[in-house]
Structure 1
Amino acid sequence: MQLAIRHDTVYRYEAPVHYSIQQLRLSPLTTPAQIVTQWLVDAPGKLDAGRDAYGNALMTLVLTRPHKEIRLRVRGEVETVPLPDGRLPEGEGPIPMQHFTSPTRLTEADAALADFAQSLRSLDDAAGLLDTAARVTERIRYEAGVTDVTHSAADAFALGRGVCQDHAHVMLALCRARGVPARYVSGYIDPGDVPEMASHAWVDVWIDNGWVTVDVTHACFASEKYCRIAVGRDYEAAAPVRGRRVGGMGETMDVSVEVNVQASQQ
């Protein structure tokens, strides 16, 4: 499947920012599951490219002149392949597997989550993962605007509402409470009739000596409709944009994402 992706982000500040540094995880990698055919990240300054500890493509933007706005523009095309039973055709990666069994601030299981984890039928096979995803979305109804990036899995579970990021964090908390390695995935999805869901989050779970990738929000495997951008232990490690600044006072952010399916080129 050929996915055409457009992602625009604009930060605006009440007062001039004198210095800012931004880490951008906005570029997919070519892997056995996807081929990047075109990709461009445009920013108001030089981008230094590298990799982070998880192997994600990482760009760093440093602005030292006063500015009241930062515009980031992403355009690209990715060809994806079907993943039977959600199994990724790749190995462990650069991080020891034990790292993905350790909770973080956003994925710590409180008493309620720990009890829920123990009630699950199974987390060590593909069918069990889909069943768990369905139970998570039953407990946490999808609703935009009720949580933000600071809310933890425990927060969303108690609230009973949230978005894809919350579903992913709860799934990670449940897996780790049961000693099953799992990691957060950020990326894009062909959203069908729900364009606001084009920017997405899901999880990879390590079972039977391989990663199985699951979209918790839709209780399905994350297959060819998905473009993977970054992985980490939680959102903070895989966020599309993270940074610091000096000055600026108040900040607003506008984000627009579009994903369209292109006709396959023969």
Structure 2
Amino acid sequence: MILTVTHRTLYRYDAPVRGVVQSHRLTPAAFEGQRPRDWRVTVTGGVTGGGFRDGAGDWVQGYTVQGPVSEIEVLVEGVIETADTAGVLRGHREAVAPPVYLRKTAATRADNALRALAEKAQTGTQDPLDQAHRLMAAVADAIDYRPGQTDAGTSAAEALARGAGVCQDHAHAMIACARSLGLPARYVSGYLMAGEDEGPHEAAHAWAEIWIEGLSAWVGFDAANRCCPNAQYIRLGSGFDARDAAPIRGTARGTGEERLDVTVAIAAVQQ
């Protein structure tokens, strides 16, 4: 598929701030499942800083905005070609060894309930790929897709206890369960184009990847939609959890309260 992306993030401050520094993971890497054709990131009044490709294969770009400033827009516009690889990530250049992703974070620490969910899901199989698929189904059954029930700081354990959440919570729960079974797992941020089935989704999306030793590859699992990523998905970057893989991270110098508006539009181009 050929997909177009328009992702607009607008920051407003009720009092002008002296300046803003941001770090972006907004540029998708090329691999067998996707190939960017044209991709631009612009920041209102932004000065481009240093950029580098980190050990996970993600491009990290810095920007600074000199104040006083009351409003900043970060605009992503792109065209990308995607293919269905059944969720298998191949041809993605990275240097971090998979066992590093066994490390727990506050958002992905497994409590007794998450460990019990993982153990029940793996009953009767020792195949890691089968275990991962069963984990996806178990998490989808245990956490209903219901926006407004959780927030950015909700942990996997809290989402499971509430029995509701969004894609971030499904990904955190998948990661927590997988790591409790000794399977390296990580959080992936990206985009998802709506399908004809109108299932639960968010255009700015997230899912989990689990390292499958037998395939020597990372495989994506989207519990929110009960599927592995296909040609409707665009992969931006990865990390230990949502905070680590955030597309935009930054800080503002000043006392103004920040308000955030985000709009994302994904569309397929006639081929």
Cα distance, 1:177 vs. partner?
A: 0.5
Match of 1:52 in 2: 54
Using the TM superposition, name which of 65-74 and 88-97 deviates more: 88-97
| Correspondence 1:144 to 2:147 | yes
Which residue in 1 is equivalent to 2:119?
Answer: 118
For residue 72 of structure 1, what is the aligned residue in structure 2? 74
Q: With structure 2 as the length reference, what TM-score do the two structures score?
A: 0.91
Structure 1 partner of 2:98: 97
Aligned amino acid, residue 8 of structure 1? R
Cα distance in 2 between the residues matched to 1:53 and 1:90: 15
Cα offset, 1:6, TM superposition: 0.7
Conservation of the 8 A alpha-carbon contact between 1:182 and 1:206: yes
Query: CA separation of 1:90/1:145 partners in 2, compared to 1, >3 Å: closer, same or farther?
Result: same
Supply the distance in 2 between the matched residues of 1:160 and 1:150 (Cα, whole angstroms): 16
The Cα offsets for residues 137-164 of structure 1, whole Å up to 9 and x where unpaired, read as 1111111122121111111111111000
TM-aligned CA distance change 1:26 to 1:123, over 3 Å: farther
| Aligned with 1:237 (options 234, 244, 253) | 244
Deviations 1:117-173 (A, max 9, x none): 221225744343223212211111111122121111111111111000100000000
- Structure 1 residue 181 displacement after superposition: 0.6
Is contact 1:123-1:129 (8 Å) kept?
Answer: no
How far has the Cα of 1:55 moved from its partner? Answer: 2.2
Report the Cα distance in structure 2 between the residues aligned to 1:143 and 1:123, rounded to whole angstroms: 32
Distance in 2 (CA, whole Å) between partners of 1:91 and 1:30 is: 7
Q: How far has the Cα of 1:194 moved from its partner? A: 6.5
- Which residue does the alignment assign to 1:177? 180
2:127 & 2:93 partners in 1: Cα distance?
16
Can you list the C-alpha shifts for 1:95-115, whole angstroms capped at 9, x where unaligned? 122211111111000121122
Task: Give per-residue Cα distances to partners, 1:44-82, cap 9 Å, x unaligned.
Answer: 212233223422111111123211111011110110112
CA distance in structure 2 between the partners assigned to 1:160 and 1:136 by the alignment: 10
Residues 192 and 232 of structure 2 are in contact (CA less than 8 Å); yes or no, is this contact kept in structure 1? yes
SS of 1:165's partner is helix
In structure 1, distance between residues paired with 2:199 and 2:62: 31
Identity %: 37
Of the candidates 60, 63, 71, which is equivalent to residue 61 of structure 1?
63
Tell me how far apart the structure 1 counterparts of residues 174 and 70 of structure 2 sit (CA, whole Å).
38
Structure 1: segments with no counterpart, 5+ residues: none
| 8 Å contact kept, 2:110–2:156 | yes
Deviations 1:176-212 (A, max 9, x none): 0011011111101111347971111011111112211
CA distance in 2, matches of 1:196, 1:134: 16
Aligned residues: 263
Structure 2 unaligned spans of 5+ = none
Q: TM-score, normalised by structure 1?
A: 0.93
Q: Quote the Cα distance in structure 2 between the aligned partners of 1:90 and 1:126.
A: 20
TM superposition shift of 1:232 = 1.0
Q: Distance in 2 between matches of 1:146 and 1:52?
A: 33
> RMSD in angstroms over aligned alpha carbons?
1.8
Secondary structure, in 3 states, of the residue corresponding to 2:32? coil
Quick check: 1:91–1:210 contact (8 Å CA) kept in 2?
no
